[in-house]
């Protein structure tokens, strides 16, 4: 068996997912890319994110297809009692590796932990919420409350700067995947099921605390707005002679020493160090005198084209990267992206062929190729037959009643 066809480490695990937007779909896709069978249940016509931007020219959501790679898709009218019963049958279906529900649609009686545990005592239910009390919240609102927008951007800026990366959604989705694996481990050892909840706001608060920002504030510290400087160290972006920009980071004395030598300002930096009584081998002194050091180093970058700057940095220990737009990444940089073993060329219904990532986790002997997202409802009848145990007569009746649909529409 070739590496590309060897089963993933989670092969045999079955997860039912009822979700929308980022966190919950990402949690399910993380498991699917490691070999789990993830069955996403949508309402007929799709959940609210089925048409979310960005869109392909056809109107197919690149967002939806990006977060649902490798899953199987079922559409069920979950407002109908018969549809709710079908969902319960899928979650509670027999088998040692089934009985797992991942959802951000919390508060529904028919998918509550007590209801499902009555059908399957060892059921695992992982529910993602906005806040710990169950009230709604999204990444932008949580980020606003947690403090980052007010320390992001240049020092002279008065307003808030929201980050376009949904960091808490991403972190929450990965926590959800870990929660499922931990609960499955518990079930394996004890035979007991689990009810796990994770709030987006708690993930954000925990992260801010883990990074020391809560303690810093509680002890009287005030985190300043620094633009592209690095708090507690020396890093900044530099403009080259041909209007490119590179981000340069020095985390160790060696990094800083190499940068100073590359820029040919060792004597000047040493003179400043002596005059100030500073020690630029320490993070703190490099940070305190960051503007002065920036002024000494910037001319070297400004006098050289990007190619020469890149060659010089590549020959040093300095950490650096060139700023690129998404379009540049997939234009001039596409060949570089395509050589990454995580990337695959997918032929996605409604989109066409494009590069897409598989799992960032590389297990030795296991392939990492991406698997396309399903069309909405593509596997409805197959899943009802093989997992829920529906007969052909039942499926025909459900279809006739409008409780299920195989709406293969390229979503």
Catalytic residue numbers, as ranges = 169
Write out the DSSP string of 74-141: EEE-TTSHHHHHHHHHHHT-SSTT--EEEES-TT-GGGSHHHHHHH-TT-EEEEEESSTTS----HHH
Cβ neighbours around 360 below 10 Å, total: 10
Q: Would you give the end-to-end CA distance of the chain in angstroms?
A: 33
Q: With CA atoms as reference, report the closest residue to 50 among 73, 82, 27.
A: 73
- Do β-strands 319-322 and 245-250 pair in parallel, antiparallel, or remain unpaired? antiparallel
DSSP-derived 3-state class of residue 270: helix
Which strands form 319-322's sheet, in the order they lie side by side? 234-239, 245-250, 319-322
Cβ neighbours around 329 below 10 Å, total: 12
CA dist list (Å): 143 to 103, 217, 356: 22, 17, 28
72 phi and psi angles, rounded to 5 deg: -115, 150
d(CA 176, CA 178) in angstroms, rounded, equals 5
313 sits in which H/E element? helix 306-314
Before 109, cis peptide (omega within 30)? Answer: no
- Give residue for tokens 């319960």: 88
Q: With CA atoms as reference, report the closest residue to 378 among 153, 90, 70.
A: 70
CA angle 201, 205, 210 (to 5 degrees): 150
Long-range contacts of 97-100 (CB under 8 A, 24+ apart): 97/12, 97/13, 97/14, 97/184, 98/14, 98/387, 99/123, 99/124, 99/193, 100/13, 100/14, 100/15, 100/16, 100/124, 100/126, 100/180, 100/183, 100/184
Q: What does the radius of gyration of the chain's CA atoms come to, in whole angstroms?
A: 26
């Amino acid at each position: 068996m070739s590496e590309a066809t060897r089963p993933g480490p989670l092969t045999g695990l079955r997860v039912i997912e009822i979700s929308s937007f980022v966190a919950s779909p990402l949690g399910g896709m993380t498991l699917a890319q490691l070999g789990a069978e993830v069955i996403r249940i949508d309402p007929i016509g799709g959940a609210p994110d089925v048409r979310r931007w960005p869109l392909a020219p056809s109107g197919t959501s690149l967002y939806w297809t990006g977060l649902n790679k490798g899953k199987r898709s079922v559409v069920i009218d979950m407002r109908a009692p018969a549809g709710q019963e079908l969902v319960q049958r899928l979650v509670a279906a027999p088998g040692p590796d089934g009985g797992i529900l991942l959802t951000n649609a919390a508060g529904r009686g028919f998918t509550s932990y007590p209801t499902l545990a009555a059908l399957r005592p060892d059921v695992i239910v992982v529910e993602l919420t906005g806040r710990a009390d169950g009230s709604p919240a999204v990444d932008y609102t949580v980020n606003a409350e947690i403090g980052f927008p007010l320390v992001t951007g240049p020092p002279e800026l008065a307003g808030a700067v929201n980050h376009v990366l949904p960091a808490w959604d991403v972190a929450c989705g990965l926590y959800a995947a870990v929660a499922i694996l931990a609960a499955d481990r518990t079930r394996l050892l004890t035979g007991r099921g689990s009810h796990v909840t994770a709030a987006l706001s708690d993930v954000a608060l925990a992260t801010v605390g883990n990074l020391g920002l809560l303690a810093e504030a509680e002890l009287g510290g005030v985190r300043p707005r620094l633009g592209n400087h690095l708090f507690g160290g020396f890093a900044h972006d530099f403009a080259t002679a041909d209007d490119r920009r590179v981000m340069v980071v020095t985390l160790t004395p060696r990094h800083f020493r190499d940068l100073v030598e590359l820029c040919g300002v060792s004597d000047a930096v040493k003179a400043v160090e002596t005059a100030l009584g500073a020690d630029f081998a320490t993070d703190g002194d490099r940070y305190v005198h960051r503007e002065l050091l920036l002024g000494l180093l910037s001319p070297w970058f400004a006098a050289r084209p990007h190619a020469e700057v890149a060659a010089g940095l590549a020959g040093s220990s300095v950490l650096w990267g060139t700023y690129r737009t998404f379009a540049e990444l997939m234009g001039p940089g596409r060949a570089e992206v395509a050589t990454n073993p995580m990337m695959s060329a997918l032929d996605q219904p409604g989109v066409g062929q494009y590069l897409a990532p598989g799992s960032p986790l590389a297990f030795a002997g296991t392939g990492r190729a991406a698997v396309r997202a399903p069309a909405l409802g593509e596997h409805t009848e197959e899943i009802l037959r093989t997992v829920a145990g529906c007969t052909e007569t039942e499926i025909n009746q459900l279809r006739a009643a409008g409780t299920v649909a195989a709406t293969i529409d390229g979503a």
